[in-house]
Structure 1
Amino acid sequence: MMSHGLPLADSEVEERFDVWSARAAIEYYESHAFTDGLPVVPVSESSLAAFLRTVDRDPQEVLMPMPHLNRALTVRLAAINAAMAGCLPEYFPVVVAAWEGFAAEPTPTRGIWQSTTGTAPLTLVNGPIRDQIGINCAGNIFGSGFRANATIGRAIRLAAINVFGLHPHLLDQATQATPAKYSACLGENEENSPWESLHVQHGFDSDDSTVSTFVIRSVLHLEARHCDAPEQLGHDLANSVARTGALLHEYTSSLIVLGPEHAAMCARAGWDKDTVRRFVYEAASVSRATLARVGKGAVSRHSRWRLPADHPDAIADETSARGGDDAPVLSSLDAIQVIVAGADNAGVSAVVDLFGPPRGIPFSIAKVRSSA
């Protein structure tokens, strides 16, 4: 039976599957606030067992503690939320690797998950597992339409809600947040990249499957369809990184997601990922007059957050002693990372604002390990 092109269960299906019981189970989860606002998949012990069989882990092993909340995520709890999110069991090793990456964050920074800033977890998948489970790497990478991407990202969010208690208006105090709080998972388009993938750059083999984990604030799309020189694109990227609205702290950090067309243009000119990173690092600055105009001309002596120069807690940022009219916004090359993802159909890239450490690499990588 069809209604406006959408399939509905016919009587034969209903004889084998009690649709109304399923709906009742879904409403039960909703009534107990076990959801992100969307319906979840009911879970039984037998369906849960299929997830746990995919990893060689003790179900009671703690994947990620939240000491300040006195809560901890176990393998079993991660599996329950992955099943509720709509994952297939074969996705679960990726979910576990993602949690291992997030657990590598410095413990004091985990409070940012419930911050007014509205941050969201982002998982990036590399290696053969992308094809094995159907991770989308090309076209609509930040959008809908691909079960693996949607449900893996959602599994992280559901566990944050159900295990850590990060419900909106309660422990999650995001002022506005981001749609990425529903789900944020993508794969690097290794096949259409002229360069080494992110995980190979960081010491893994190309046939390793990995998950890189980031904490993000926003995704800013960049239209540069007609630029014909990497320097033009580089200045566009640097301007996007250095926008004053992104400057929460003394420095910022960013993940540049180059579309394949932009990556190919850079490669034709002899640029590699590190060339792109260095160009953006050196070009990403903002005038001190602009910072003063938006009330970000100084930093807090305690938090290093930007604030007006006449604020009682204000001190000069560390680069002001160098003189000059411009303030650099990246602390080091590590603060800017580059991947290639998206479709090869337009000159479109993106700058992802990260909530990273003041210095150092603003993400973690974990290897995907299954029981097979």
Structure 2
Amino acid sequence: MAKKDTPSISNNACGCLIDDILEKKDDTRDRLCSASESDMEFFIDPDPEKISADFYQRRLTDGLPIIPPTRERVDRLLNHSEYNPEDVLAVLPPKMGQATTEKIAINSVMAGCPPGFQPVMEHIIKAIYQDKFNLAGVNATTHPLSICTIINGPLS
């Protein structure tokens, strides 16, 4: 069997669409995943039904409703963080995507998290990044599983 020629993973390789949008990159040749020109559109329409349907058609969600990640909503979460938006808190398998504070906030907005939960989301990402959690193994298993996070304390 011939060895598959796989491009090496670079810092710009994948993580990928959100990084390109935030850095206003047009060159996508080094990308591990495929993307089309329409994937680079930045959503500013705050209509939840419209954006949920559009994200679902692009296979960016599982069909559950999402909150549009407008700049104002993302900034509200970032105001609760002790990190800068561009700080990389983790590099997550399988495609070694860079989990920046801003990307965590974007995903938190889409999931409907209140702004005060930004530090919790950051700690969750840092926890699953730990070697002993074995996120690569969790992602690669053929066993049906789902990650559940239980928190307690004043924020919960």
Report the TM-score, using the length of structure 1 for normalisation: 0.28
In structure 2, distance between residues paired with 1:107 and 1:115? 13
1:117 pairs, out of 143, 149, 155, with 143
Pair 1:90–1:107, CA change in 2 (3 A): closer
Per-residue CA shift, 1:254-304, capped at 9, x if unaligned? xxxxxxxxxxxxxxxxxxxxxxxxxxxxxxxxxxxxxxxxxxxxxxxxxxx
Bigger Cα Rg = 1
Q: TM-score, normalised by structure 2?
A: 0.62
Give matches, 1:1-372, under 5 Å. Answer: 21-66=47-92, 68-106=94-132, 109-130=135-156
Which residue type is aligned with residue 52 of structure 2? I
Q: Does the 8 Å CA contact 1:62/1:72 hold for their aligned counterparts?
A: yes
Distance in 2 between residues matched to 1:128 and 1:39, nearest whole Å:
28
Whole-Å separation in 2 of the counterparts to 1:34 and 1:66: 18
- Per the alignment, residue 295 of structure 1 pairs with none
Greater length-normalized contact order (CA 8 Å, ≥ 6 residues apart): 1
In structure 2, relative to structure 1, the CA distance for the partners of 1:54 and 1:109 (3 Å cut) is closer
Matches of 2:96 and 2:153, distance apart in 1:
35
SS in 2 for 1:35: coil
Percent identity (aligned): 25
Aligned residues: 111
Equivalent pair of 1:30/1:39 in contact (CA under 8 Å): no
2-side partners of 1:68 and 1:52: how far apart? 26
Q: 2: distance between equivalents of 1:84 and 1:28?
A: 13
The root-mean-square deviation of aligned C-alpha atoms, in Å, is 2.2
Task: Identify unmatched segments of 5+ residues in structure 2.
Answer: 1-45
Corresponding residue for 1:239?
Answer: none
Structure 1 CA distance, aligned partners of 2:71 and 2:111? 16
Distance 1:117 1:84 in 2: 27
Residue 29 of structure 1: how far off its partner (Å): 1.5
CA contact (8 A) 1:66 1:72 kept: yes
Closer, same or farther: CA 101–41 of 1 in aligned 2, 3 Å = same
| Amino acid across the alignment from 1:97 | H
What displacement does 1:37 show? 2.4
Tell me which amino acid in the other structure corresponds to 1:121: I
Contiguous gaps of at least 5 residues in structure 1: 1-19, 131-372
More strand by share: 1
Cα distance in 2 for residues equivalent to 1:96 and 1:37: 25
Give the distance between the partners of 1:70 and 1:42, measured in 2 at CA: 25
Superposed CA deviations along residues 276-334 of structure 1, whole A, max 9, x for unmatched, are xxxxxxxxxxxxxxxxxxxxxxxxxxxxxxxxxxxxxxxxxxxxxxxxxxxxxxxxxxx
Structure 1 counterpart of 2:58, one-letter code? H
State the distance in 2 between where 1:80 and 1:101 align.
19
CA–CA separation in structure 2 for the residues paired with 1:120 and 1:25: 26
